[in-house]
Amino acid sequence: MNRTQRIIFYILVLIAGATWIFLSADTGASTASLPAPQTGFLAPDFTLKTATGEGYTLSALQGQAVLVNIWATWCPPCRSEMPAIQAMYDEYKEQGLIVLAVNSTVQDNPLDIAPFTQEYGLTFPILLDETGDVSRAYQVRSLPSSYFINRQGIITEVVIGGPMSEALLRTRIEETLK
């Protein structure tokens, strides 16, 4: 192959590579380009159902303080903090606290959820994130992930990981209820 043929070959390879990069680029909007929900941000809205089909929409709960806890049955810190979340829910529900326990169903066995809720005596709604949309919207990287949302729909605190103690929960909930 002479010098001119090599140059033409390299140019064609570069054009093919640039074309491949251009055609395979992801031009769709993704949550990765959005900042992760954090203190002071409006909580991303979602609608999910319980195992019995009862639906909950976060934005419809404005006017009440909400704890969104994203968890899975296999997660040891999730298991450890559930009794404390239940105790705080019992203590503060009359003051307007709602707990939405969002099971990351795409990472969990749906058959384990009912025994889990019975074992821990959970009385707040257990919502199923079967598509992973809520986990993506909240950019969940670790379970459990908890978001305290005030009556105006603004996140007042984000707690990644766990388990959360009753003392930590009480402090965050009282701030959220203000």
Q: Is residue 72 within 8 Å of residue 145, measured between CB atoms?
A: no
Domain borders along the chain are: 36-177
Q: What's residue 118's pLDDT?
A: 95
The pLDDT, as a whole number, for residue 26 is 55
Model confidence at 126: pLDDT above 90: yes
pLDDT at position 30, please? Answer: 47
| Radius of gyration (C-alpha) of the chain in whole angstroms | 23
Residue 116 burial (10 A CB sphere; 0-12, 13-18, 19+): buried
CB count within 10 Å of CB 2 equals 6
Query: Could you tell me which CATH number the domain at 36-177 has?
Result: 3.40.30.10
DSSP 79-148: HHHHHHHHHHHHHHGGGTEEEEEEE-GGGS-GGGHHHHHHHHT--S-EEE-SSSHHHHHTT--SSSEEEE
In the beta sheet, which residues pair with residue 100?
68
The answer to whether 172 touches 157, Cβ cutoff 8 Å, is: yes
Cα(127)–Cα(100) distance, integer angstroms: 7
CB within 8 Å of 22: residues ≥ 6 apart: none
What digits encode the pLDDT tens for the residues 17-69? Answer: 878 777 776 555 444 556 678 888 999 999 999 999 999 999 999 999 999 99
The answer to whether 65 and 47 have CB atoms below 8 angstroms apart is no
